[in-house]
A and B are shown apart, each in its own frame.
Chain A
Amino acid sequence: MKLHVRYNINNVCRRLLQEQLNKLDFPCELMGLGEIEIKKTVSEEQYNQLAAALKKYEIEVLDDRISALVQKTKDAIIEMIYLEEKLPVSKISFYLAEKLNYSFGYISKLFSEVTYTSIENFIIMQKVERVKQLIIDDELSLTQIAGKLSYSSVAHLSGQFKKTTGITPSAFHRIIKRRKNNRNMEPMRK
């Protein structure tokens, strides 16, 4: 006996996704184009459960793996800049590749695709943010800050600061101080 069936592959996929998501108790909405909006926060365990359930049907949870890796890259860079007592002087590409277990080329490509900036730029931006914070804290001299963040010299630090912000570290220091004074004079409305 031969049976003929007619199906709409798109509807099949939607139904399947919906069933799997319902089974795991994810309130959600299918947005089309493979996008699902989940209307609650998902723990890592739940996420893995879902990914495993869908994998059986060869459905890959794509987006999130990429965003997770990009987020991990950011976290690793920030951790390196903020937590390490002194920045590693070795190549950051090795540091990230080792920490994240992917080739630096792969990490770097994904990072630019998602954030529209390069890892190198992101690191510079984060380092300059750290420098700003240390300037505001007003406990270390610029020479000490340069040492802490592995700049080869104060001139190198100042150059990167100026290139990134358009102003010098000392102008920044002055601006922040004057802002504080202004604020103390005029309390905020509301």
Chain B
Amino acid sequence: MQYDDFHVLLADDDPDDRLFFKYAIEELKIKTILTTVNDGVELMNYLSEPDASLPHVVFLDLNMPRKGGMECLKEIRANKNYKDLSIAIYSTSGSDKDIEESFVLGANVYIKKPNDFSSLKKILAEVININWQYHISGLNKENFVLSI
């Protein structure tokens, strides 16, 4: 059975994190196309290109120069064109309050950044797999929340 390629976008200003992310994606069985941008301004520019192929899921680092992840989250959720996008927040904080706040603002996934690469890889693999399951099964993304 052939599914369309799964398109993932990462907004993160840290080059090491972007590289780890790329390695993690390369090991997945699911055919995944990765696009990376360096900050929130680049992200919003990318998404608003008239012929942009919108990603299925956007990974947002919270702390980025120029425009941070929270601001992007709010902007994306205020725009109906992006309603099919899943948003995964990528944060160093793991407080229940931050997690709940992100979900209330419309995030679908909240990832507390682990300290080592192997955990990160495992987490990303799981997050992308679950997103993909939602995608291929046509599940209601509006109710999709995952804290990991």
A residues near B, CB below 8 A?
35, 63, 66-67, 70, 74, 114-117, 122, 125, 129, 132-133, 136, 164-167, 171-172, 174-176, 178-179, 182, 186, 188-190
Let me know if A167 and B147 touch, CB within 8 A: yes
List of B residues within 8 angstroms of A35 by Cβ: 2
Partner of B1, one of A67, A136, A176: A67
Q: Which chain B residues border A129 with CB–CB below 8 Å?
A: 139-140, 143
Residue of A nearest to B110 (CB): A166
Interface of chain A, helix or strand or loop or mixed? helix
What are the residues of chain B within 8 A of A186 when measuring CB–CB? 78
Q: What is the CA–CA distance of A166 and B102 in the complex, to the nearest angstrom?
A: 14
Q: Which of B1, B106, B140 contacts A66 (CB 8 A)?
A: B1
CB of B103 closer than 8 Å to a CB of A: yes
Cβ–Cβ contact B133 & A179, under 8 A: no
Out of B136, B143, B146, which one reaches A166, CB within 8 Å? B146
Return the chain A residue nearest B133 by Cβ: A117
A-B contact count (CB 8 A): 68
Choice from B29, B100, B136, B148 contacting A175 with Cβ under 8 Å: B100
Q: Is the CB of A165 within 8 A of B132?
A: no
Answer whether residue B122 sits at the interface, using C-beta atoms and an 8 A cutoff: no
Inter-chain contacts of B139 with A (CB < 8 A): 125, 129
B98-135: contact bitstring with A at CB < 8 Å (1 yes, 0 no)?
01100111100010000000000000000001101100
B95, CB-defined interface residue at 8 Å: no
B145 within 8 A of A: yes
The total of chain B residues at the interface (CB under 8 A) is 29
Across the interface, do A116 and B29 meet the contact criterion of CB distance under 8 Å? yes
Within 8 A of A (CB), among B24-47: 29-30
Verify if B53 is at the interface (C-beta below 8 Å from A): no
A182 to B148, CA, bound (A): 24
A-contacting residues of B (Cβ < 8 Å)? Answer: 1-2, 29-30, 78-81, 96, 99-100, 103-106, 110, 129-130, 132-133, 136-137, 139-140, 143, 145-148
User: Given A66, A70, A74, A189, which contacts B78 in the complex, CB threshold below 8 Å?
Assistant: A189
- Nearest CB on A from B89, distance (A): 12
- Interchain CA distance A66-B3 in the complex, whole Å: 13
Contacts of B143 in A (CB 8 A): 129, 132-133, 136, 176
Query: Which of A74, A165, A182 contacts B146, CB < 8 Å?
Result: A165
CB neighbours (8 Å) of B105 from chain A are: 182
With A165-B146, A175-B145, A182-B105 given, can you name 19 additional A-B contacts, CB distance below 8 Å? A63-B2, A66-B1, A115-B133, A125-B130, A125-B139, A129-B139, A129-B143, A165-B147, A166-B145, A167-B99, A167-B145, A171-B96, A174-B100, A175-B103, A175-B104, A178-B104, A182-B104, A189-B79, A190-B81
Closest chain-B Cβ to A14's Cβ sits at a distance in Å of 19
Closest-by-CB residue of B relative to A117 is: B133
CA distance A186 to B3 in the complex (A): 36
B84 CB to closest chain A CB (Å) equals 14
CB distance from A93 to the nearest CB of B (A): 20
Q: Can you list 21 A-B contacts with CB-CB less than 8 angstroms, sorted by A residue number?
A: A66-B1, A67-B1, A70-B1, A116-B129, A117-B129, A122-B133, A165-B145, A166-B110, A166-B145, A167-B145, A167-B147, A171-B100, A172-B145, A175-B100, A175-B104, A176-B143, A178-B104, A179-B104, A182-B105, A186-B78, A188-B80
